Structure 1
Amino acid sequence: MRESVVKLNEYTLRIFSLNTIVVGSGAAGLNAVDRVFSFGQKDVALLTDNLKWGTSRNTGSDKQTYYKLTLAGNVPDSVYELAETLFNGGSMDGDIALVEAALSARAFFRLVELGVPFPHSRYGEYVGYKTDHDPKQRATSAGPLTSYYMCEKLLEEIRRKGIKIFEGYQVIGILTDRNEEKTIGLIALDLNNIDDPEKRYVLFNVKNIIYATGGPAGMFYFHSVYPPVHFGATGIAFEAGVMGKNLTEWQFGIASKKFRWNLSGTYQQVIPRYVSTDENGNDEREFLEEYFPDPSTMLNAIFLKGYQWPFDVRKIKNYGSSLIDILVFYETVIKGRRVWLDFTRNPSWGSKNGELDFSLLGKEAYEYLKNSGALFGRPIDRLEKMNRPAIEVYLQHGIDLRKEYLEIGVCAQHNNGGLHGNIWWESNLKHFFPVGEVNGSHGVYRPGGSALNSGQVGGVRAAQYIVENYSGDPLCEEEILEEAKDQILKKIELGESFVKKITGKSNVSSILKEISERSMRSMGIVRSLEEAGKGKNEALRDFNNLIEKVELSSIRQLPFAFRLYDVLLTQYVYLSAVENYIESGGKSRGSYIVHDPTGELPVPNLPEMFRYSLAGESFNKKIQRVRCKENRCEFFWDPVKEIPREDTWFETIWNSFMRREVFR
């Protein structure tokens, strides 16, 4: 790596030149930079706003899942069977499914060797359990903080190797060559020197970019289970010409709002009370019973919400568990009320003198609680018995489930879509590798925990391809300035326009709230063509008028102005994708309802906006891709690639490997 200082017009810029930069310090980014270094490319560095801000470090659930090939017991499994499970989720390319399956054991055991405490039997078997959309028992967990442990151990390894970390830098632009065929660098804010115009903007002149910035959480900021420090940076990738893929496919689920945490698994299996209040916490009522035919059906739906935590349009009918998500959405987003989980008392409907009538439970729920020794007491008592760490997680954040209600909402949890990448995780722009959640490798459905596997596998693949094909130095400083001069100046001038909007007061939070409300209204779990089109136009209007609209309290808010820029551009492209999907005949699938006036209502006493019908299977055999050019979106619908069935004769592969043909 070399460092230099140059002048571009009246601006002073520091330039760091190196082979590969990895952007993002979640589990995917940390793994990627370690892999590049380990495979032999030592001229690599990590760039991050803050090492403690990665989503992986700050999220979890009652038992956070990591999904991989079966590694215990006598139930048969294979790479192809795992690939088929991933592929059968719909709208996923089979070649990527095969790669994620083939490398799952390698990625998993790397984490084991680094010290992530995944449990194994006395014989060394890494046992598993069944997670959502999982036909076997491939899931494992290190507890509520699985991805946190991954980040900790990966960071320890990076520091042990002495890999360079640029902490306190926010990427604000991706630089391409004149032909817009490949990326050649980044422009970033130096958050440590943001007060100094001479040091405010920094260039990274690089041959390769591994982009591990996570999902575009900023769009759902106030309706999100992503940590508050996470925004994503997908918009500037669209701006550079990177294609999007399956952008319509989000995963939503019930989560707590004060401390953002997924309320899956044991939190639901202990059968808490669902309570609705007005904005001030008054007018308390247990609202679920208004929509279920009897207490037994309601109690079983709550229990199953633990297994079936993500909102799934296929699990609405016949009072399925996802009806609960619809009812929570109706109470909060439509009626404007607040919804809470209460672990201190049993649901009134189904209890006698405060004691739950366990005989009302179905066989699955009853036997689960019986086998767990939890056929007694209040929800908090059952939670204490079955999963005490689930209580302690909240205690560590000042919330005592033994004494207080837990405010909840239906929250955006994961984007199954994202940026386009091939089987080496390289995008349509050469030398640019989206890795982790920002890569849209998943389809409509995915097994719980498969995202962690995908992020680790993606880092391996990108690192392999870079080391085999993209070694050497980046452009010289004069060349990158010549190639990307206009792009660099445009970003700096945008930043200085924001600086001029420092008025001593701020409206950043209110703009972010508007964006968040628009996302939930236009591309949440209930969608319509009218709302998608309206939201898209509003997002583009706000994006074009951002400089005039935004007010900053101080120079310290300049990074947030750039975040708003990215989030609004991202929202415009995503809502354009939702509109295009519905215009193309797409109906309800995955984690959202598309309003269909000729469809059916989940239950009779819900309003017409919830009327829906399921998408045809033909849509699961296609992938929607989009490219945004000068704020105009062009869409492509491609058939999914089938899972490759190539010759795996050992001598054939061995010879191909020795000739390095497998890395092409």
Structure 2
Amino acid sequence: MPAPIDQSILDALTDVDMPRLPPEPAPGGAVKVAGHRIPVHTSGAIVLGSGAAGLRAAVEMTRRGIDVAVLTQSAWGGTSACSGSDKQTLHTANTADRGDNYRAMARAIRAGGAMDEDTAYIEAVGSGRAMASLQYLGLPLPQDAYGGTLRYQTDHDETGRATSCGPRTSRLMVKVLAEEAIRLGVAIFNQTTGVRIIEGTDGPDGILTVRAKDRAEANPWGLALFRAPVIVLAAGGPGELYRDSVFPNGCFGALGLALEAGLDLVNLTESQFGIGTRREGFPWNLSGTYVQAMPHIYSVDEEGTEHPFLAAYYRTTRELASNIFRKGYQWPFHASRMLDFGSSLVDLAIYREGELGRRVFMDFNRNPLPVPGDQPFSLSRLDADVSDYLTTAGAVQDRPIDRLRHMNPLSIELYRRYKIDIAAEPLEFAVNNQHMNGGIAVDIWGRSSRPGIYAVGEAAGTHGVTRPGGSALNAGQVFGTRVAEHIAATGRAQPPDGAVPVAELARAVARIGAIANPKSALKINDVKREVQARMSERAGLFCTPSGVTGALTEARALTAEIRGQGIAPGRAAELGRVVQWQQMALVSEAVLTALDFYISHGGGSRGARAICDPAGSRVPEGRSGPLDAYRFREEGAGDRDEQITLSLSGDAFAVTTRPNRALDEHRRAFFERDWPAWLTGAIYRGNGA
């Protein structure tokens, strides 16, 4: 039995202090536009977002001699720094006990479909470099006595390529990358909300922002212009899109900004949903050891009566407990896993309890109750994969809390930091939106459809339908580096020395003035409630064709209403929020447009959600028989081979499909033949097809 871990070690991996921001550089001048005296900053490149992917891009560009400005709404306040799970995963090639096969890893990354084969291979090949560089910066990834990285299995991962520093892995990644960025002298502008990309003569000229600290009598809105010919969008996903969400509050992402700049978006139909604690308290994903400890899951109705509701879905206590365990490495909802009494039947059951108005809890001091008529829970009566895992881990204690404490004491410490003691009281949770797998369409170098604009991290739509848990963290590091390499090779990232494009800037200022209309009947909270309720209730993990079509009609009406009358800011400080909610309404319409297109063309159920249809060919079953209300369409095999792309054309969306980019797995690099392409920079001049 291993010795207890000293509290100081647990504290160091749970309470991760972030570095102090350096002073911001002063603007180089100002420009007067429409009664606003707008400060102007210049740099070679702008990174919008201060998460792990954005900071990687900033660090790598700075190392290559590029003058970079990082713009962030809230430094160290995004999903990278504030989200996670039991032992948050970094998914990289397995070097613990054998060299990995990159082609096999690429096939695993893209296995869910709607993902470019070349992108998956790039993520696989680049994973070793990404992990090693993070370790060099001080990321404390665990090793064995021989130097191998400790590994485990995560969702959509049959090989065991996952590793972790604990629940704060991505925060620790942000910490070491932020420290390196500060050491290198990267300019970081905090409390800076990007609201509009400004066009230049042959690409972007910069980003117009809202900054409270720049508000003055001559600049009442607090506008600031950051000029650069290269922009890297790394502001994460649209966390505010759903009411039932595990994103930290205030995560808007940059998809609305991208749409208004004319960028192509892709795979907006694909998200991830899974169990987690609600954002009203401490939002956190309940994957991994939280459920592998097999706590008792129950609901409470309005009268306070407990309901062990999972017993109505599984046939035996063994089947029930084993599938609670499997939620650990099959955490995201997947329609096919509702079948054959699989682990996503747990998600369906939780969702139905919520529809009944019941609150759902897990109790770590009680084992799962028996299914009526069956034997009580016993560690000796579990499916073989579950029993083998727990035995190997040494997690054979009597109570869930003791099994959890043995496997992952950090997971208990984390909730204690937020005044929730899961060792003493049950934990309330629900099924929530967690990740946007779609986003800005990019090529193999992270380039968007517009020259000079790149996207990395969750902002980039590279993940396809499903992905191994933790591969998104790896993708952000790999493509953050590749973006920097490509930008440096092009030589484009030179601080602009020409005149400010005043006419374009004036149009952007006028647009903001039209949106932020004090006389509008629409308030920020009105838009927020409408968008979030519609997305959670009709575009969540269960939806119907008619429900999506109806939701799209309503979303179009809302965006038209905003175009017509704007949104009223409650005070001057809400100007940035007004624009963000206008853009979030636009993103909502875009997602529903893509989803309606997919469903109306026969699209079926897969990773993101189940398309419920009375004519569907698949139906989940509970212990008492078919759950026919959740009969769903099966995924069409051909849908995995293509992606849905979308762009804004005027006030409407243009939607089409394209096939996944292919990778010739039979092609092999040859040193003497291929070295010249590297030496001459020819590798950077391809179109990524």
For this structure pair, what is the TM-score category when the shorter chain's length is used for normalisation? over 0.9
Partner-residue secondary structure (3-state), 1:207: coil
Equivalent pair of 1:498/1:558 in contact (CA under 8 Å):
no
From 326, 334, 344, the equivalent of 2:348 is 326
Partner-residue secondary structure (3-state), 2:158: coil
From 576, 597, 602, the equivalent of 2:620 is 602
1:638 matched to 2:658? The reply is yes
Equivalent pair of 1:345/1:354 in contact (CA under 8 Å):
no
Bigger CA drift: 533-542 or 54-63?
A: 533-542
1:411 matched to 2:432? The reply is yes
Q: CA deviation at 1:548?
A: 4.7
Counterpart CA distance in 2 for 1:353 and 1:602 is 22
Q: CA deviation at 1:479?
A: 4.8
1:649 matched to 2:667? The reply is no
Q: CA deviation at 1:353?
A: 14
Counterpart CA distance in 1 for 2:59 and 2:75 is 15
CA 1:204–1:410: 2 relative to 1, 3 Å: same
Aligned to 1:335: 356
1:246 matched to 2:262? The reply is no
The one-letter code sitting in structure 2 at the alignment partner of 1:573 is: A
The one-letter code sitting in structure 1 at the alignment partner of 2:551 is: G
Normalising by the residue count of structure 1, what TM-score does the alignment of the two structures yield?
0.93
Bigger CA drift: 222-231 or 341-350?
A: 341-350
Counterpart CA distance in 2 for 1:195 and 1:346 is 60
Which structure 2 segments of 5+ residues have no match?
A: 1-24
1:91 matched to 2:114? The reply is yes
From 532, 538, 547, the equivalent of 2:548 is 532
The one-letter code sitting in structure 2 at the alignment partner of 1:372 is: A
CA 1:489–1:559: 2 relative to 1, 3 Å: closer
Equivalent pair of 1:29/1:459 in contact (CA under 8 Å):
yes
Aligned to 1:72: 96
Counterpart CA distance in 1 for 2:296 and 2:589 is 38
The one-letter code sitting in structure 1 at the alignment partner of 2:320 is: M
Counterpart CA distance in 2 for 1:585 and 1:355 is 44
Q: CA deviation at 1:281?
A: 7.0
What does residue range 110-509 of structure 1 map to in structure 2 within 5 Å? 110-177=133-200, 182-194=203-215, 196=217, 198=219, 200-220=222-242, 222-257=243-278, 258-278=281-301, 280=302, 282-332=304-354, 334-349=355-370, 356-471=377-492, 473-476=494-497, 478-482=499-503, 484-494=504-514, 497-499=516-518, 508-509=524-525
Bigger CA drift: 98-107 or 27-36?
A: 98-107
What does residue range 42-57 of structure 1 map to in structure 2 within 5 Å? 43-57=67-81
CA 1:643–1:168: 2 relative to 1, 3 Å: same
Bigger CA drift: 595-604 or 549-558?
A: 549-558
Equivalent pair of 2:240/2:250 in contact (CA under 8 Å):
no
1:611 matched to 2:631? The reply is yes
Q: Deviations over 1:169-208 (max 9, x none)?
A: 1011112347xx7322211101223465516111122100
Aligned to 2:17: none
Q: Deviations over 1:363-392 (max 9, x none)?
A: 222233333333333222221222111111
1:623 matched to 2:643? The reply is yes
Counterpart CA distance in 1 for 2:318 and 2:158 is 27
Bigger CA drift: 80-89 or 155-164?
A: 80-89
1:33 matched to 2:58? The reply is yes
CA 1:555–1:67: 2 relative to 1, 3 Å: same
CA 1:607–1:124: 2 relative to 1, 3 Å: closer
1:17 matched to 2:71? The reply is no
Percent identical residues: 34
Q: Deviations over 1:550-602 (max 9, x none)?
A: 45443232222222112111100011000000011100111310112122321
Counterpart CA distance in 2 for 1:466 and 1:434 is 12
Bigger CA drift: 228-237 or 639-648?
A: 639-648
Partner-residue secondary structure (3-state), 2:406: helix
Q: CA deviation at 1:613?
A: 2.9
Counterpart CA distance in 1 for 2:303 and 2:42 is 56
The one-letter code sitting in structure 1 at the alignment partner of 2:70 is: L
Q: CA deviation at 1:523?
A: 1.7
Normalising by the residue count of structure 2, what TM-score does the alignment of the two structures yield?
0.90
Aligned to 1:3: 28
Counterpart CA distance in 2 for 1:498 and 1:327 is 44
CA 1:197–1:520: 2 relative to 1, 3 Å: farther
Q: CA deviation at 1:149?
A: 0.4
Counterpart CA distance in 1 for 2:312 and 2:254 is 42
Counterpart CA distance in 2 for 1:196 and 1:405 is 52
Q: CA deviation at 1:477?
A: 5.4
Equivalent pair of 2:151/2:162 in contact (CA under 8 Å):
yes
Say how many residue pairs are matched. Answer: 652
CA 1:251–1:196: 2 relative to 1, 3 Å: farther
Counterpart CA distance in 2 for 1:176 and 1:491 is 14
Partner-residue secondary structure (3-state), 1:307: coil
From 479, 493, 516, the equivalent of 2:532 is 516
Counterpart CA distance in 2 for 1:644 and 1:574 is 32
Partner-residue secondary structure (3-state), 1:545: helix
